[in-house]
Structure 1
């Protein structure tokens, strides 16, 4: 009985609650009845907008961002959403033929640097009361250009050249002397017919006048600026001597440059021996090997003013480093990249090489300092080309001990290995790239790849919007003329442009046409001594060859 009464009570309470809820809803509805048309219109607009977005948007399976996947089985995948492309980087290069490792021009050109019959020798031209001192500037290859031009400047001034002093105070902080890197006795002896060179300034020479000349100074410039000093004093010292001689000289002066560069400058025997060992070890790893000069150190990136996506940390670090160069103006990174002035990153070098046909089986000798970003920066290149080697990885600490504390000596070892590589590649067009580019032209037209950075930059930026085949085809097109070919268009006695180092990269005055296609020996153009230039494998580094 009690249970029956409780159930009826609960039922009455529920009915009361329901009636109260209905009453409240009626009140709210009547109060907001006038808002119904507005609510209906708003809902209709939202439905139309949703329909439009659904029609225009890509399928849900596509991501709005370009996703860069990791490498699986040697294949890199970049997803592209706009064209629904997949940027697949092939594991193989697509070509393994000899065209990757040889130049078709090697049969037709050879180096020729002997003086003409009109060249006045040192014994006839050198004044006994004139001594020229030179202090070079920069790293090893920048200093090399200074040494080369110092010999020519001494010839122009009819002066005795004192063996040049190397830069010991700049960023590289290397205490090496000339004789620590180059064979000084060979240097003096080989060039004795051209310029008189001595190891030290005689005590009786008198007071030294220190001055400088502007960059790209031609013979008339030297005669105007320096000869009046020699009329008063016997010794002139030129400081910061790099690229202080014009690219545009007469034929005999250009050939003198080549005799100094390709024959007079030879590395010391310890450096040559170390270089030979590393070349031999690279040869055991495969039929061919590629030498890569990778300038991607912090100082290089700071000097370039370029940006590589490292965020605030990168910008702060490189900005602080740029303060070391007082005269260096602030640069616009985007503008520098558009103009092709930014060195390619390790990943970009790898993409270029794969597009040119080099597969993941290729062995690469990497010549570089400490890469900015460390192994993380190298990882994309290593994924494309696992067989990366350095002097530290194929040479023991004991073998490298006598060189490791000296940046210029270590650079000299790298120079030898890159010079002897079947193909030489650089990520920028710095001093080593220019010097080695010219040298490889002079000694047999060996393939030398310099990136066409201006055009490659535009292509690399949009690579995720195209398929690999299109990307690779455009890379090959853009690289025509940047593979170490002889560049024509300059006068016989000139360089190939007004930029610094251009003659050293493309020494047209010292490249002769070969009338025959067989044989490895070519006669030099000096009828007085009939000396022969041997254009055979320079890895022997015999005493009669240069470094």
Structure 2
């Protein structure tokens, strides 16, 4: 009896599908032949068909929207799959729910075994012991907020290497980002100076006597190591006593001894604290997201027209896209001829909003998840965002959760607006990015240091092939492949070997293993004392960040110290500078080197960095 009932129900459903498929086909056929029909018949038939079609639409949930590049499939959230007579490709159904993954989507199961550690060793000299009274170092940063942050961090380390007094760094006010903010309008300058007072002497401006001399300006090569600074920069500093280093971004090697790496971490994760107005507004934004949901994802979405034009990538918009982006691309005279396919194959093209949405759904995040999006102008506007919003209707930005009056003090300053997004992304339960820019890198490293919070970095090389062939597979096949390809790109401990990538995104020297917690997981570790391993104790530094923490939130960021094992054991990072190139260079840097010019061993005093144009927008374009 039950079998008969099920068979009848299945036959009824099949009849319904055939009926509605026939209605849709007739509607398409009517449109195609509308000019051959009599006017009166056309009007009557149109009214009838529209009425029937409207009734069907009311009882059938809408499918996911797609941009021109991604229109390869039809999707209905209720699982109904239909194949048009005009499109016989495999149907690719995107479910409304995220599924049931075999792990917690909002935390890392391994994070409790590791923690950030940046305490200096006993052999680390303090400022009073080593700073020379007649050496002053000035730094001019480059790019947007996060690129400048790398420069500020490295400037402190360089001042320590040169035994010099550091003048509070000057921010870039002339690049693409056009932000007139000074250091003390972005960062708490008093905290910066006092926190680092034992490591490096820092003053707000040159002493009057030192300021009377003409200040020489110098640009050092990228990835300049300790020997490079001592051999090339120190002689000039000794002779002139005051020296300015310009365009100071990524001018310090990844390969430093452990104490210098830990100094980097103390600067980046503790000394650089945003000003009170920025932290207070950032706190409001986070609280408003928490009022909406217990967990939320923050997405850093770079899809501006200028960025896409600069990258040379193609997103399926046809001749219109090629012409629009091609015209913008003419701004940079030295760019190579674009090769979109090669860029995609090498993982250098940012994922589109829909692609990043599909990745999140494949990883298990359903349509009920709240999404905070940090972005600038999106190429294609709402049409480009529509698929992402269809996948995640709970779509928020700082503009939607804050009033115009609240944002007024920040809205005309790109770095201050970026700082607000930085805070929300840092505090999110899951951070995801569609690009490999500096904000993505800085947040990836920061989230590792403060507890390995889930951080999704798309494996663009592998995902490219998957997106290319997705119309030939089912959703289950697609989602399974995404989860496989993303292993090693989710912010878990030990995903990368020490030294891989920029130090700011993989601060391995500042990540320690909690031996006590690890021993409780693996009892055998108790027996390994003959190898020199000792049970470690994890202690919190009280007062190292202060009552306000990094952003002034109630949940303070803590720095841990103790006799624990560093996850990056070697004082020399394992990967060479050349091996890191794919990970640590911005797209801009790869595109503007002039053919046949080797600039890796050149230092320029009072001049430009040979081999690169000095267009203000080029080097900084991908800085955030």
TM superposition shift of 1:125: 1.0
| 1:264-275 matches, cutoff 5 A | 264-275=271-282
1:101 to 103, 106, 111: 106
> Out of 479, 496, 504, which is 2:486 matched to?
479
Cα distance, 1:314 vs structure 2: 2.1
Aligned 8 A contact 2:312 2:340 in 1: yes
Asked if the contact 2:270/2:545 (under 8 Å) is kept, the reply is no
Size of the aligned set, in residue pairs, is 473
Contact 1:111 1:512 (C-alpha < 8 Å) held by counterparts: yes
What secondary structure sits across from 2:140 in the alignment? Answer: strand
Over 3 Å counting, the alpha-carbon distance change for 1:190 and 1:91 in structure 2 is same
Shift of 1:440: 0.5
The alignment's C-alpha RMSD in Å is 2.9
Of 480, 496, 499 in structure 2, the residue corresponding to residue 496 of structure 1 is 499
The structure having more radius of gyration, on CA atoms, is: 1
Question: Tell me, what secondary structure is at the counterpart of 1:169?
Answer: coil
Taking structure 1 as the reference length, what is the TM-score of the superposition?
Answer: 0.81
Distance change in 2, residues 1:189/1:532 (3 Å): closer
The alignment status of 1:253 with 2:260, answered yes or no, reads yes
Three-state SS of the structure 1 residue aligned to 2:217 is: strand
Q: CA deviation at 1:358?
A: 0.3
- Give the whole-Å Cα distance in 2 for the aligned partners of 1:544 and 1:358: 28
TM-score (norm: length of structure 2): 0.71
Q: d(CA) in 2 for partners of 1:129 and 1:419?
A: 40
Given the superposition, is the C-alpha separation of residues 188 and 369 from structure 1 closer, same or farther in structure 2, using an over 3 Å criterion? Answer: same
Q: Could you say if the C-alpha distance between residues 292 and 133 of structure 1 is closer, same or farther in structure 2, counting changes exceeding 3 Å?
A: same
Q: Give the deviation of 1:119 after TM superposition.
A: 0.4
Are the aligned partners of 2:118 and 2:265 in contact in 1 as well (CA < 8 Å)?
yes
Are 1:378 and 2:363 counterparts? no
CA contact (8 A) 2:74 2:93 kept: no
Maintained 8 Å contact 2:74/2:91: no
Question: Which residue in 1 is equivalent to 2:60?
Answer: none
**Counterpart secondary structure, 2:199:** coil
User: Contact (CA 8 Å) 2:299, 2:373: kept in 1 or not?
Assistant: yes
User: Which secondary structure state, in structure 2, belongs to the residue aligned with residue 195 of structure 1?
Assistant: coil
Post-superposition Cα deviations, 1:415-456, rounded to whole Å, max 9, x if no partner, equal: 000000000000011101110001001001100000000000
Secondary structure of 1:284's counterpart equals helix
> Residue 125 of structure 2 aligns with which residue?
120
Q: Residues 24-49 of structure 1, C-alpha deviation per residue, up to 9 Å, x if partnerless?
A: xxxxxxxxxxxxxxxxxxxxxxxxxx
> In 2 relative to 1, CA 311–204 (structure 1 residues): closer, same or farther, beyond 3 Å?
same
2:116 is aligned to: 111
Structure 2 residues not aligned, in runs of 5+: 1-24, 29-67, 519-536, 560-624
Equivalent in 144, 150, 156 of residue 151 of structure 1:
156
Matches of 1:437 and 1:486 in 2, distance apart?
12
Q: In structure 2, what is the Cα distance between the partners aligned to 1:332 and 1:182?
A: 40
1:337 aligns with 2:344: yes
SS of match in other structure, 2:93: strand
1:68 to partner: Cα distance: 4.5
- The equivalent residue for 1:505 is 505
- Offset, 1:104: 1.0
5+ residue gaps, structure 1, are 1-60
Cα displacement string for residues 250-294 of structure 1 (whole angstroms, at most 9, x for unaligned residues): 000000000000000000000000100010000011110000000
Alignment of 1:383-402 (within 5 A): 383-402=390-409
Counterpart secondary structure, 1:451: coil
* Contact kept? 1:446, 1:484, Cα under 8 Å: yes
1:541 corresponds to which of 546, 553, 557: 553
